[in-house]
A and B are shown apart, each in its own frame.
Chain A
Amino acid sequence: MEDNLLKGNFEVKKPIKLGDQEKEKSVGEELKKRALGTLGGSMVYMERKHFTWDGDE
């Protein structure tokens, strides 16, 4: 209701770029990913028999 009343009542001086919102969203995602990243350790690990691999298996 409030949204409808406000709609078209005024013109904003600076046009809103939807791209900025998208950018904010992706920064947020990036921060979230970065936060979780520390939880994931300094490096990847996989369980396998040999500790090293030199292309010869």
Chain B
Amino acid sequence: MINSSQTLFFDRIVDQISEIGLDFHVNNIFQHAEKNSADVKRSIKQLPALKGNKARTGIVISAGPSLRKKNSIQRIFDSDYQGSIIAIDAAYIACLKAGLIPDYVVTMDPNPTRMVRWFGDHDFEKNTGNDDYYTRQDLDVDFRRNSQEQNRRHIELVNQHGPLSKAIIATSAPRNVVTRIKEARLDMYWWNPLMDDPTRQGSLTRRLYEMNGLPCINTGGNVGTTAWIFANSVLKLPRVAIVGMDLGYYMDTPIEMTQTYYELIHHLGGRENIKGCFKEYEFPLDQQKYYTDPTYFWYRKNLLEMLERAPGKTVNCTEGGTLFGPHIECVRLDRFLEESAHG
């Protein structure tokens, strides 16, 4: 893990992430937004107003390794929680398998081959190819097994329950994701990802807005943070809990199994400095150590910045990971569920 002399090196990588992301995503975002325009019928501004318990609290379900280790979805289902459930795309099938139907499923990543798997992929073999992305997903061993049979089951599950959830979908989503969501009959509510300062001349965000007139959301760099912003600032829920938002890894996860391990080696030009790319944190609730890589560190930094300015209260019920700070309280999921049940 990182030592003090490696901090500068780590920070230098983190500083480059925004630029790498913009450079990588910008063409896909505009191409996808253009192709998706014919399917844009409703924006997130047209979502029906929330009532009763659904308007009081919400749980954002992200897809970090704790979701499985802590059995978070099953515990939410067993508690008969009545508030809003906002799942990210990667957690959607895990929710359905537990019998928990999310009110909203958030998706935005423009990756043309990987994201469709979260809804069941008709081109499973072609899109899986030599890509080991799913073998580095901790959420669900079914996704690691790469089995056709599992994929078929996922397609059926999503087709069966799709009409009960609303897709909160970015115009940057790839066509195969849009087609799958349409096929499974989730109602689609659209938005644009915010990419830069829209008040500046030549802004890419403004260009996107002028194409389709959809509201823009600052994503924090990942779909988990977007789901939280959606709950906090679009649904305007006064109290939001987050589960599965590890933004890091358990200490027994080998660094070779981390999400950007090979990308980091590529970026560094070798394995020599690879250990300096991982930073340890002690989670306050269990006093256990977890570690993070530059990309998750960047997500963490962005989310903590946003939490500072966020209205409403957010509690982290992940029960592990690296997300803690002065503007987010870490509490046990059971405590949140109990408090929510009593208003």
Q: In the complex the two chains form, what is the Cα distance from A46 to B217 in whole Å?
A: 11
Q: Given A46-B194, A51-B306: A35 and B263 within 8 A (CB)?
A: yes
Chain A 9-55 interface residues, beta-carbon cutoff 8 Å to B = 32-55
Does B298 contact A41, Cβ atoms closer than 8 Å?
yes
Main SS class of interface, A: loop
Give me the interface of B with A, judged by CB distance under 8 Å: 17-26, 29, 45, 108-111, 170, 172, 193-199, 205-206, 209, 213, 215-223, 226, 229, 232-234, 259-260, 262-264, 266-267, 294-295, 298-299, 302, 305-306, 309-310
Instruction: Please list 17 pairs of residues, one from A and one from B, whose beta carbons are closer than 8 Å in the complex, sorted by A's number.
Output: A33-B24, A35-B262, A37-B21, A38-B259, A39-B295, A40-B18, A40-B21, A40-B22, A43-B108, A43-B109, A44-B195, A52-B234, A53-B194, A53-B205, A55-B206, A55-B213, A57-B199
- What residues of chain A lie closer than 8 Å to B216, measured between beta carbons? 52-54
Does B109 contact A52, Cβ atoms closer than 8 Å?
no
Give me the interface of A with B, judged by CB distance under 8 Å: 32-55, 57
Does A39 contact B17, Cβ atoms closer than 8 Å?
yes
Q: Given A32-B266, A53-B198: A41 and B21 within 8 A (CB)?
A: yes
Does A57 contact B108, Cβ atoms closer than 8 Å?
no
Q: In the complex the two chains form, what is the Cα distance from A40 to B295 in whole Å?
A: 7
- What residues of chain A lie closer than 8 Å to B45, measured between beta carbons? 54
Does B263 contact A38, Cβ atoms closer than 8 Å?
yes
Q: Which residue of A lies closest to B109 (CB)?
A: A42
Smallest CB separation, A48 vs chain B (Å): 6
Does B266 contact A44, Cβ atoms closer than 8 Å?
no
Q: Given A42-B109, A45-B302: A36 and B222 within 8 A (CB)?
A: no
Smallest CB separation, A44 vs chain B (Å): 4
Does A41 contact B221, Cβ atoms closer than 8 Å?
yes
Does A40 contact B267, Cβ atoms closer than 8 Å?
no
Does A43 contact B213, Cβ atoms closer than 8 Å?
no
Does A45 contact B295, Cβ atoms closer than 8 Å?
no
Does A38 contact B260, Cβ atoms closer than 8 Å?
yes
Q: Which residue of A lies closest to B222 (CB)?
A: A42
Smallest CB separation, A2 vs chain B (Å): 30
Does A52 contact B23, Cβ atoms closer than 8 Å?
no
Smallest CB separation, B109 vs chain A (Å): 4
Q: Given A36-B20, A52-B234, A55-B213: A47 and B229 within 8 A (CB)?
A: no
